[in-house]
C-alpha cells in the first residue's frame, strides 16, 4: 500500500461543548470517562488541527472514515472497556507489541466498536506490527512523537492514561485475591461472593444465554435488576445484543457490566456486575473482565473433573435404555451413586435440538448444543426433583424424572425456563414424554415411547413441540409405518385434488376436517367455520363430488380422517 502524508493543517475542530451534555449524566458515564468528547466532526478536521505531529496515513481512507466524537489513549492491550463509537484511538508500537491477539483480530474489534481511526506512535525498538496495513477496516495513521500536549484535544488524555495504569494495578490485586479462592478449592459460588465483596456490588454468574447459576450481593440490588430491561420475564439476563451483550449497559441512571467467561476458546457464560449505590465506568468493566478470566479457570477445572464422571453416567444411562444395566435392585443402587432416585415411578423425557440450516458459525465457540441443553434442564430440575437424572448423549438429552400429579405441567414449566423468552439465538428443540414406569425393566420401552412422541410431535407441530406418548392417538399407529411413500400415496388417492397444495385445496381440507370432527353436523360445523348454513351445504356437495358420498359411508369417513392426519404429520406433507 502506498504511504502518503496526511493533509496540511486546515480548519481546527470545534472546542468540546460541555454545556450541551446531558445534565442528568453522571460523572462516571463511560461516554465521558472513555475519551475527550466533542461534537461529531470529520476525521480530516482532527488530523489537520495540529493535534498530531507529522501524521502519516498508512492504511485506509481518512476522507471516508467515521465521524470523530472523541479522542482516547490506549495504554493497555485490553482496551475493550474504553472503546465506543467515533473514537480516535491513540496508542504506540510498544503497546501493540503486547497484544495477546493477532493484529487483524484487534483491528476487527475496533471496527465492530465503530472506532473512527487508530493513531500509532512509532517507538524505538518496537516496529509496526506486520499486517497493520493489510486490508484494514479503518484508517491507521502513524506519528513519530507524542500528541501535542497543550492542544485542547489532549486536555484529559494524560489523566486517562494514568487511570488505565491504575486499573492494571487494581485488577492485579483483584486477580490475586480471587486466585487464592480458587487455589483453596472454591468454586463459582465462592468466586461470586469474593467478587461482590471486593468490588462492592452484586454479582451474577450465568450461562452464555443468560440463565442465572450463582449470585452474591444484596437482595435489594437483585430486585432493582429484575425491574430493568436487563432481565426477561423468566429471570434470564438478556445476552442477545451485539457481541453477546458484553460491556456496560445503561438502565435509567445505573449501569450493568457484563463480561464473557471463556475457557479453551469456548464461551461458557457471563459475569454480571451491578451496583445501584454507585456509578460504574470503563475501569469497572475492566475489573469485571479480569475477574471473568479467573472464573474461566474454575470452568476449566470443573470440566476436567466432570468429563470422566459424565462418561460413566452416559454409559450407565445407555445400558439402562437398552435393558442391559442389570437387575432392578442393582440398577437402583448404582443410580444412587450418581444421586438419582429410580426406586419410584419415573417417566422418560427425550429432548432433541431441531435441525437448523445455519448454526451461526460467526458466533463465539460454545459447548455442543446437546450439552448446553442438558445443563439447562439439570439447572431447571435442581429445585424441583433432586433425584432426577439428566444426561447428554450423542444427539439428545435424556431425563429420568419422578412421576407427579401433573407431569406434563412440570415438563412445560421446565421447557419454559430453559427456553426463556425465546431470544438470544437459543436453538429450538422437541420434547417427548413417556408413560410412567413400574420397574426399571420398563425403561427401554419408555424410552421408545418418548422417542416416538418426540418424532411424531415434531412432524405434527413443528419446532418447540412438547408431546406426551398418550396424546398421539392414531398418530402412534401411523408412525409405525416405515414406508412413508405408501402413506403419501394413500393420502393422495383418498383426498384426491385436496392434496394439490393450493389455497383453495387447503381451505376445503379445513372444511372437511371440521365436518368429520362434528360427525357431519352441518349446523355445528357452520358455526365453527363461521359459514352460513347454506354455504356449508354447498361445500359439502362440492366435497362429495370430489371425494365420494362420505356423509353416508362411515368407512369412507374413516379413510378421510386417516388421510388428513397423514398430511398433518410434517415430513409426510404433500
Q: Could you read off the pLDDT of 43-52 as tens digits, one per residue?
A: 888 888 888 8
The pLDDT, as a whole number, for residue 28 is 39
> For all residues of the chain together, what is the average pLDDT?
83
Helix (H, G, I), strand (E, B) or coil at 334: helix
Which three cell numbers mark 259? 463480561
Distance between CA atoms of 528 and 505, rounded to whole angstroms? 19
The pLDDT, as a whole number, for residue 385 is 93
The pLDDT, as a whole number, for residue 244 is 53
Q: For residue 538, what are the contacts with CB-CB under 8 A and spacing of at least 6?
A: none
The pLDDT, as a whole number, for residue 356 is 65
The pLDDT, as a whole number, for residue 489 is 86
Q: Do 319 and 391 touch, CB atoms closer than 8 A? A: no
SS3 for 556-569, per residue?
Answer: HHHHHHHHHHHHHC
Q: In what order do the strands lie in the sheet with 87-92?
A: 4-5, 56-59, 140-143, 117-121, 87-92, 68-73, 36-41
The pLDDT, as a whole number, for residue 31 is 43
The pLDDT, as a whole number, for residue 236 is 82
The pLDDT, as a whole number, for residue 29 is 44
Q: Do 432 and 349 touch, CB atoms closer than 8 A? A: yes
What are the distances in angstroms from CA 224 to CA 227, 254, 256, 275, 398?
Answer: 5, 10, 11, 10, 37
The pLDDT, as a whole number, for residue 548 is 92
> ∠ CA 85-88-93 to the nearest 5 degrees?
125
Distance between CA atoms of 459 and 573, rounded to whole angstroms? 9
Question: What letters, b where the CB count within 10 A reaches 16 and e where it falls short, cover 235-271?
Answer: ebbbbbeeebbbbbbebeebbbbbbbbbbeebbbbbb
Q: For residue 1, what are the contacts with CB-CB under 8 A and spacing of at least 6?
A: 58, 59, 133, 134
Distance between CA atoms of 67 and 47, rounded to whole angstroms? 12
> ∠ CA 262-265-268 to the nearest 5 degrees?
35
- In 137-207, the DSSP E strands lie at 140-143, 202-206
Distance between CA atoms of 440 and 113, rounded to whole angstroms? 56
Q: Considering only the C-alpha atoms of the chain, give the largest distance between any 2 of them, rounded to a whole number of Å.
A: 98
Question: What letters, b where the CB count within 10 A reaches 16 and e where it falls short, cover 472-491?
Answer: beebeebbeeeeeeebbeeb
> ∠ CA 62-63-67 to the nearest 5 degrees?
85
Closest CA to 179 of 269, 307, 296: 296
Share of the chain above pLDDT 70, in %: 86
Pairing of strands 87-92, 117-121: parallel
Cα dihedral 382, 386, 389, 395, rounded to 10, equals -10
The pLDDT, as a whole number, for residue 342 is 95
Those residues of the chain that have pLDDT short of 50 are 1-33, 242, 359-363, 422-425, 571-574
Q: How many CA atoms lie within 13 A of 386 on its CB side?
A: 2
120 - beta bridge partners? 91, 142
The pLDDT, as a whole number, for residue 147 is 74
Phi, psi of 130 (to 5 degrees): -65, 140
Amino acid at each position: 500500500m502506498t504511504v502518503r502524508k496526511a493533509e496540511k493543517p486546515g480548519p481546527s475542530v470545534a472546542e468540546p461543548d460541555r454545556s450541551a451534555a446531558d445534565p442528568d449524566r453522571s460523572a462516571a458515564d463511560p461516554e465521558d470517562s472513555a475519551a475527550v468528547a466533542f461534537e461529531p466532526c470529520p476525521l480530516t478536521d482532527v488530523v489537520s488541527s495540529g493535534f498530531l505531529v507529522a501524521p502519516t496515513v498508512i492504511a485506509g481512507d481518512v476522507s471516508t472514515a467515521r465521524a470523530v466524537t472523541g479522542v482516547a489513549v490506549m495504554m493497555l492491550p485490553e482496551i475493550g472497556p474504553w472503546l465506543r463509537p467515533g473514537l480516535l484511538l491513540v496508542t504506540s508500537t510498544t503497546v501493540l507489541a503486547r497484544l495477546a491477539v493477532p493484529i487483524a483480530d484487534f483491528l476487527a474489534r475496533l471496527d465492530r466498536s465503530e472506532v473512527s481511526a487508530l493513531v500509532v506512535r512509532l517507538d524505538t525498538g518496537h516496529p509496526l506490527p506486520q499486517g497493520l496495513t493489510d486490508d484494514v477496516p479503518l484508517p491507521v495513521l502513524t506519528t513519530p512523537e507524542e500528541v501535542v500536549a497543550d492542544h485542547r484535544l489532549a486536555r484529559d488524555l494524560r489523566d486517562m492514561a494514568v487511570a488505565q495504569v491504575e486499573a492494571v494495578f487494581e485488577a492485579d490485586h483483584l486477580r490475586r485475591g480471587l486466585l487464592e479462592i480458587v487455589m483453596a478449592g472454591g468454586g463459582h459460588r465462592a468466586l461470586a461472593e469474593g467478587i461482590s465483596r471486593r468490588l462492592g456490588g452484586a454479582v451474577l454468574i450465568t450461562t452464555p444465554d443468560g440463565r442465572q447459576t450463582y449470585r452474591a450481593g444484596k437482595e435489594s440490588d437483585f430486585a432493582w435488576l429484575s425491574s430493568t430491561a436487563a432481565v426477561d420475564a423468566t429471570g434470564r439476563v438478556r445476552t442477545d445484543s451485539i457481541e453477546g451483550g458484553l460491556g456496560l449497559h445503561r438502565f435509567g441512571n445505573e449501569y450493568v457490566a457484563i463480561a464473557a467467561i471463556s475457557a479453551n476458546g469456548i464461551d461458557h457464560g457471563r459475569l454480571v456486575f451491578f451496583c445501584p449505590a454507585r456509578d460504574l465506568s470503563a475501569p469497572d468493566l475492566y475489573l469485571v473482565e479480569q475477574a471473568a478470566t479467573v472464573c474461566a479457570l474454575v470452568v476449566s477445572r470443573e470440566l476436567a473433573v466432570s468429563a470422566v464422571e459424565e462418561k460413566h453416567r452416559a454409559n450407565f444411562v445407555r445400558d439402562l435404555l437398552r435393558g442391559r444395566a442389570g437387575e432392578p435392585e442393582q440398577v437402583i443402587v448404582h443410580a444412587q451413586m450418581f444421586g438419582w432416585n429410580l426406586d419410584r415411578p419415573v417417566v422418560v423425557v427425550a429432548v432433541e435440538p431441531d435441525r437448523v440450516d445455519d448454526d451461526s458459525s460467526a458466533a463465539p465457540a460454545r459447548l455442543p448444543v446437546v450439552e448446553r441443553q442438558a445443563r439447562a434442564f439439570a439447572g431447571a430440575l435442581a429445585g424441583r426433583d433432586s433425584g432426577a437424572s439428566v444426561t447428554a448423549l450423542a444427539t439428545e438429552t435424556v431425563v429420568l424424572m419422578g412421576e407427579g400429579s401433573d407431569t406434563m405441567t412440570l415438563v412445560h414449566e421446565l421447557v419454559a425456563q430453559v427456553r426463556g423468552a425465546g431470544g438470544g439465538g437459543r436453538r429450538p428443540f422437541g420434547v417427548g414424554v413417556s408413560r410412567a414406569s413400574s420397574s426399571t425393566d420398563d425403561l427401554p420401552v419408555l424410552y421408545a415411547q418418548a422417542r416416538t412422541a418426540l418424532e411424531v410431535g415434531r412432524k405434527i407441530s413443528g419446532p418447540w413441540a412438547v408431546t406426551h406418548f398418550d396424546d398421539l392417538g392414531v398418530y402412534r399407529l401411523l408412525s409405525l409405518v416405515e414406508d412413508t411413500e405408501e402413506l403419501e400415496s394413500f393420502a393422495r388417492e383418498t383426498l384426491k385434488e385436496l392434496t394439490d397444495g393450493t389455497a383453495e385445496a387447503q381451505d376445503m381440507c379445513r372444511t372437511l376436517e371440521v365436518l368429520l370432527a362434528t360427525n357431519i353436523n352441518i349446523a355445528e360445523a357452520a358455526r365453527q367455520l363461521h359459514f352460513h348454513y347454506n354455504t356449508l351445504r354447498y361445500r359439502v356437495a362440492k366435497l362429495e363430488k370430489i371425494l365420494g358420498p362420505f356423509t353416508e359411508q362411515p368407512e369412507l369417513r374413516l379413510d378421510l380422517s386417516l388421510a388428513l392426519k397423514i398430511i398433518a404429520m410434517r415430513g409426510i406433507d404433500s
